[in-house]
Every structure is written in C-alpha cells, then in structure tokens.
Amino acid sequence: MKESILTILKEHKKEGFVSGEELSRQFQVSRTTIWKHIRVLKEEGYQIESIPRCGYKLIAVPDMLYQQEIKPLLKTKIIGNKIHHYKEITSTNDVIKQLADNGSPEGTIVVCEEQLAGKGRLGRKWFSPNGAGIWCSVLLRPSIMPQHASKLTLLGAVAVAQGIRNQCGITSGIKWPNDLLVQGKKVCGLLTEMRAELDSVEYVVIGFGINVKNIEFHDEVSCKAISLEQLVGSKISRKKLLAEILASIESNYLLFLEQGFTPIKEQWEQFNITLGKKVVLSSPGQRVAGTAVRLGEEGQLVIKSVKGEEQAYYAGEITLRT
Ligand code: BT5
C-alpha cells in the first residue's frame, strides 16, 4: 500500500494536495493507517508536506535506489523481478548468495547505498561509500556447465558498458576480464561468483560496482579510480542508469542462452582495450609478459610471448603496458 500511496502522490505532484480522506476511501483503510505509511515514506527520505484539511503533497523524492523507485523504470521481464534494497550491508554478493541458497528466483537483485565489506577478486577490497555509486548483484540460474560461467563476467562487463554508454554517453573500455576503464582509470569492477556441482551450475552472481557520484576516493585508489560524474561534469541519475544496465544484462543474457557466446564476444571486442596491447598477466604463482592477441571462444585471453608462443589464460590480473 505504501508504494501505491507514493504512486498517487507522484501522479498529483504538480496539482497539489491529495486528501487523507480520499486515500483512506481508495484503500479502504483508516486515515491513521494512511498517516502511518506517510510517516514511513518520510523516514525513507521522501519530503511530504502535510496540512490538516488539505492532505499530503509530495515535495521531493530522495536519491535512493529503493525498489519503488527502480521498478517503474524497468523494461525487463526477469532481471529485477525481485529487488532487495539496503542502506548498508557487508557485500551485495554475499547477501544475494544467501538469498540464492534459500531459493530466490533468477533475476533477483540486491542493491545498497553503502557496502561495509565490498569485495574485489582474490579477497581485495572494493570501496563503496554511501550513496556514491551503484553497488549491485544480479542472480542468474543458467543451465550451463561450470566451465562456461566465466563468460558471464564478460557478458556483465559488456552490459554495464552498454548501459553507461546509453545513459551517460560515455564509452568505457573493457580491460580483460572485469574492469571498465575511462581515461585509464577504473570506473567499474565486476565480481562473478557461482555455486556449482562438477557438471552443473546452481547459480551465478554477477556483482558490479560503478563509481557514479564520488568526488574523491580512498588514498589506496585515488590515482586509479574515477567516477561518471567526474567524467561528464553534471549530475547522473543512479536509478535511471541502474534500470538501463539491468535491461542490458537481460537482453545480453537472453541472447547468450539462445545463440551462445559468439554475439557477446563480438560486443566485448568492440568495447575492449586489451587486445593488441602489450600486457603483463599476473595470477597466483605466475607472471607472463607478451601481447594480448585475441579472445578465445571460451572467453579466455590468448597472449603471445616474446618468443612467439601463444598461450590461453582463463583468469588473472592484466596490466596494460604503454
Ligand atoms: C573488482 O575486483 O574490480 C571487482 C569489484 C566488484 C565490486 C562489486 S560491488 C557489488 C558487488 N558486491 C561486492 O562485494 N563486490 C561486487 P578486482 O579486479 O580484484 O579489483 C579490486 C581493486 O580495485 C582493489 O584492489 C583496488 O585497487 C581497486 N578499487 C577498489 N575500490 C575501487 C573503486 N571504488 N573504484 C576503483 N577502483 C577500486
């Protein structure tokens, strides 16, 4: 009912007040019940003027990623069918994995204003300050073999890059496998996790963190991170951007299920800033230098060594050499 009241207040925002009596008649509840929902909306940050005998008027909507703000913007059928929003949590990936273990359906998303223990790969930190970015995880339940799941990281990177381009007009470059860079600085990172048996995937979680409104960064990343607002120099709506990205995840995911990885790979190649470059690939226990020559059919990066030998890598951290 709270969401329906909000919808009515939004519809009447220009005209003025909606009477409490009218609302209580419409929902067939007491005026006290209406008032309680209004109080919750106010606590959530909605600015609502209430005047006795006039009613309620919506003055301003908070810049929060509430489900009632995202849902009306969604053009998707699956992704975002369930939205869990938190003011602060440890990590959206950790919370969505718990939901997945408890049977949450494909398309569920977890989004928050602040992560207290945002994660990168291999236990690295992801700084996720309050209200500054989009910290979000999406739950997928594809019928694929576990060895194909890493393709979904590349799919996620393509989808976020498309969403950013469509909504903000910024073209970001994908650094294999999971970073989006603009002007050589990181604007987004993706972390894919899964639960699987040897021969089947139970679920895959695509987590993405996008710096949207940050005006400064933690010392550890200040010289290598950038936000979208720093790039465009004007305000960006996090909710519109999130809706655009979810639409893009859905269309790419459906394409992947129907036609396989080839069309995703083609998109990835268009956004890529890795191929053709001299790179160093580091992963636990190894360090390889060479030229990144192509993306394999499985999403692996093929590196040609100085001796001319080609080798495919499925994971690792790439440093681009200039
Ligand atoms: C990543 O790991 O880039 C994956 C980041 C995924 C974050 C999302 S947010 C929603 C979901 N929930 C989570 O808990 N995680 C996901 P990696 O490639 O390992 O890069 C990590 C490195 O990026 C760190 O060691 C820092 O150097 C740098 N970094 C940390 N926070 C950053 C930020 N806000 N902007 C740019 N770089 C950052």
CA atoms within 13 A on the CB side of 80: 26
Question: 121 C-alpha to center of ligand 1: Å?
Answer: 7
186 in contact with ligand 1, CB cutoff 6 A: yes
86 in contact with ligand 1, CB cutoff 6 A: no
As a whole number, mean pLDDT of residues 3-22 equals 90
Which range (85-89, 147-151, 162-166, 257-261) has the least confidence? 147-151
Query: pLDDT for 123-169, tens place per residue?
Result: 899 999 999 999 999 999 999 999 899 999 999 999 999 999 999 99
125 in contact with ligand 1, CB cutoff 6 A: yes
Indicate the pLDDT class of residue 285, thresholds 50, 70 and 90. confident
Residue 291 has pLDDT above 90, yes or no: yes
Summary mean pLDDT of the chain? 95
108 in contact with ligand 1, CB cutoff 6 A: no
Q: Whose CA is nearest to atom 36 of ligand 1?
A: 225
190 in contact with ligand 1, CB cutoff 6 A: yes
Residue 21 has pLDDT above 80, yes or no: yes
- Amino acid 150 reads S
Maximum alpha-carbon separation in the chain = 83
Ligand 1 mutation pick, 84, 93, 114, 126, max ligand atoms within 8 A of CB: 126
The residues with which 182 forms a beta bridge, in sequence order, are 185
Query: pLDDT for 102-130, tens place per residue?
Result: 999 999 999 999 999 999 998 899 999 99
pTM given for the model? 0.94
SS3 of residue 61 by DSSP: coil
Separation in Å, CA 307 to CA 10, 216, 288, 302, 313 = 65, 43, 12, 14, 17
Indicate the pLDDT class of residue 86, thresholds 50, 70 and 90. very high
Bond prior to 72 in cis (omega within 30° of 0): no
Q: In the chain, what percentage of residues exceed pLDDT 70?
A: 100
SS3 of residue 162 by DSSP: helix
Predicted confidence at residue 16, as pLDDT, reads 83
Residue 321 has pLDDT above 90, yes or no: no
Residue 283 has pLDDT above 90, yes or no: no
As a whole number, mean pLDDT of residues 28-53 equals 93
Q: Where are the alpha helices (DSSP H) in 169-306?
A: 228-232, 238-259, 262-271
Q: Whose CA is nearest to atom 16 of ligand 1?
A: 207
- Taking alpha carbons only, the member of 68, 60, 62, 59 closest to residue 17 is 59
Q: Whose CA is nearest to atom 3 of ligand 1?
A: 189
